[in-house]
Structure 1
Amino acid sequence: MKKTIRTFSKKYTVGASAKTDHGGMGGKNGADADAPLFHQDHGRPVTRRDFLAQGFTAGMGAVVGGSVLSMLAGSSKAHASLSSDLEALKAGCGIATQGAGKIPFIVFDLAGGANIAGSNVLIGGRGGQMDFLSTQGYSRQGLPGDMVPSIANPMAGMSDFINNELGLAFHADSAFLRGIQEKLAVGNRANVNGAVIPARSENDTGNNPHNPMYGINRAGSDGSLLTLIGSRNSDSGGSSMAPAMLIDPGKRPTKVDRPSDVTGLVDTGDLVGLLSQEDAVSVMESVQRISDMKLNRVDTKINSDADLKELVRCGYVKSADIADRFGDPSSLNPELDPNIVGENGIFTQEEFDGDREFQKTASVMKLVMNGFAGAGTIAMGGYDYHTGNRSSGEVRDLRAGKCMGAVLEYAARVGVPVMMYVVSDGSVASNGMIDDSEFGRGKGVWTGDNSSTAASFFMVYNPNGTPQLIGGTPEEQAVSQQIGYMRSDGSVETSATPAANNVNLLVETVILNYLALHGEQGRMRTLFPQTGLGNAALMDSLTAFEPIVNGVIGA
Structure 2
Amino acid sequence: MFKRMPKGVKSYQLDEAIPHNNHARPMSRRDFIGQGFMAGMGTAVGSSLFSFLASPQRAHAALSGDIDLSGCNISLTGAGKIPFICFDLAGGANIAGSNVLVGQQGGQLDFLSTAGYSKQGLPGDMVPSITNPNTGTNDFVDTQLGLAFHSDSAMLRGIVEKAPTAMATTNGAVIPARSENDTGNNPHNPMYGINRVGADGQLVTLVGSRSSESGGNSMAPAAMINAEVRPTKVDRPSDVTGLVDVGDLVGLFSQDETVAVMESMYRISQDKMGRISTGTTNDAAIKDLIRCVYGKSAHLADQFGVPAALDPAIDPNIVGASGVFSSAEFIGDSEFRKTASIMKLVVNGFSGAGTVTMGGYDYHTGDRATGEIRDLRAGRCIGACLEYAARVGVPLMVYVCSDGSVFSNGMTDETVNGAGKGVWTGDNQQTAASFFLVYNPGRAPVLIGATPEEQARHQQIGYMRASGDVETASSPGANNVNLLVEMVVLNYMALHGEQGNFATHFPINGLGNASGWDNYVAFEPIVSGTVSNPV
The question of a shared fold, defined as TM-score above 0.5 by the shorter chain, is answered with yes
Give the distance between the partners of 1:98 and 1:223, measured in 2 at CA.
Answer: 9
- What residue is the counterpart of 2:205 in the other structure? 227
Aligned pair 1:51/2:32, yes or no? yes
- What residue is the counterpart of 2:468 in the other structure? 490
Whether the 8 Å contact between 1:59 and 1:379 is mirrored in structure 2 is yes
- What residue is the counterpart of 2:192 in the other structure? 214
- What residue is the counterpart of 1:15 in the other structure? none
Q: Among 130, 142, 147, which residue is 2:109 paired with?
A: 130
- What residue is the counterpart of 2:326 in the other structure? 348
Determine helix, strand or coil for the equivalent of 2:450: coil
Q: Give, in angstroms, the shift of residue 305 of structure 1.
A: 7.0
One-letter amino acid matched to 2:477: A
Q: Among 394, 402, 411, which residue is 1:424 paired with?
A: 402
Whether the 8 Å contact between 2:497 and 2:529 is mirrored in structure 1 is no
Q: Give, in angstroms, the shift of residue 113 of structure 1.
A: 0.6
Q: Give, in angstroms, the shift of residue 342 of structure 1.
A: 1.6
Alignment of 1:103-502 (within 5 A): 103-185=82-164, 187-285=165-263, 288=266, 294=271, 298-300=274-276, 310-502=288-480
Whether the 8 Å contact between 1:112 and 1:203 is mirrored in structure 2 is yes
- What residue is the counterpart of 1:30 in the other structure? 11
Determine helix, strand or coil for the equivalent of 2:408: strand
Aligned pair 1:82/2:58, yes or no? no
1:306–1:425 CA distance, 2 compared to 1 (3 A)? closer
Determine helix, strand or coil for the equivalent of 1:159: coil
State how many pairs are aligned.
523
**Tell me, which stretches of 5 or more residues in structure 1 are unaligned?**
1-27
1:179-224 deviations in Å (ceiling 9; x for gaps): 1111112x32112111000001111111111111111111111112
Whether the 8 Å contact between 1:86 and 1:317 is mirrored in structure 2 is no
- What residue is the counterpart of 1:20 in the other structure? none
Does 495-504 or 90-99 show the bigger shift? 90-99
Q: Give, in angstroms, the shift of residue 390 of structure 1.
A: 0.3
Alignment of 1:539-554 (within 5 A): 539-549=517-527, 552-553=530-531
Give the distance between the partners of 2:78 and 2:87, measured in 1 at CA.
Answer: 20
Q: Give, in angstroms, the shift of residue 307 of structure 1.
A: 5.5
Give the distance between the partners of 1:470 and 1:60, measured in 2 at CA.
Answer: 41
Determine helix, strand or coil for the equivalent of 1:127: coil
1:503–1:339 CA distance, 2 compared to 1 (3 A)? same
Whether the 8 Å contact between 2:205 and 2:231 is mirrored in structure 1 is no
TM-score where L is the length of structure 1:
0.88
Give the distance between the partners of 1:117 and 1:464, measured in 2 at CA.
Answer: 29
**Tell me, which stretches of 5 or more residues in structure 2 are unaligned?**
1-8
* % identical aligned pairs: 64
Whether the 8 Å contact between 2:55 and 2:303 is mirrored in structure 1 is yes
Give the distance between the partners of 2:428 and 2:489, measured in 1 at CA.
Answer: 26
1:87–1:392 CA distance, 2 compared to 1 (3 A)? farther
Q: Give, in angstroms, the shift of residue 160 of structure 1.
A: 1.4
Give the distance between the partners of 2:339 and 2:319, measured in 1 at CA.
Answer: 12
Whether the 8 Å contact between 1:62 and 1:233 is mirrored in structure 2 is no
One-letter amino acid matched to 1:180: I
Q: Give, in angstroms, the shift of residue 251 of structure 1.
A: 3.0
1:95–1:80 CA distance, 2 compared to 1 (3 A)? farther
Q: Give, in angstroms, the shift of residue 107 of structure 1.
A: 0.8
One-letter amino acid matched to 1:240: S
One-letter amino acid matched to 1:325: Q
One-letter amino acid matched to 1:348: S
Aligned Cα root-mean-square deviation (Å): 2.5
Give the distance between the partners of 1:237 and 1:89, measured in 2 at CA.
Answer: 34
Give the distance between the partners of 1:98 and 1:450, measured in 2 at CA.
Answer: 45
Give the distance between the partners of 2:231 and 2:307, measured in 1 at CA.
Answer: 24
Whether the 8 Å contact between 1:64 and 1:251 is mirrored in structure 2 is no
1:87–1:42 CA distance, 2 compared to 1 (3 A)? farther
Give the distance between the partners of 1:383 and 1:117, measured in 2 at CA.
Answer: 14
Whether the 8 Å contact between 2:410 and 2:422 is mirrored in structure 1 is yes
1:101-135 deviations in Å (ceiling 9; x for gaps): 21111111111110000100011111111111111
Q: Give, in angstroms, the shift of residue 92 of structure 1.
A: 4.6
Give the distance between the partners of 2:293 and 2:59, measured in 1 at CA.
Answer: 17
Give the distance between the partners of 2:291 and 2:375, measured in 1 at CA.
Answer: 52
1:81–1:138 CA distance, 2 compared to 1 (3 A)? same
TM-score where L is the length of structure 2:
0.91
1:37–1:88 CA distance, 2 compared to 1 (3 A)? same
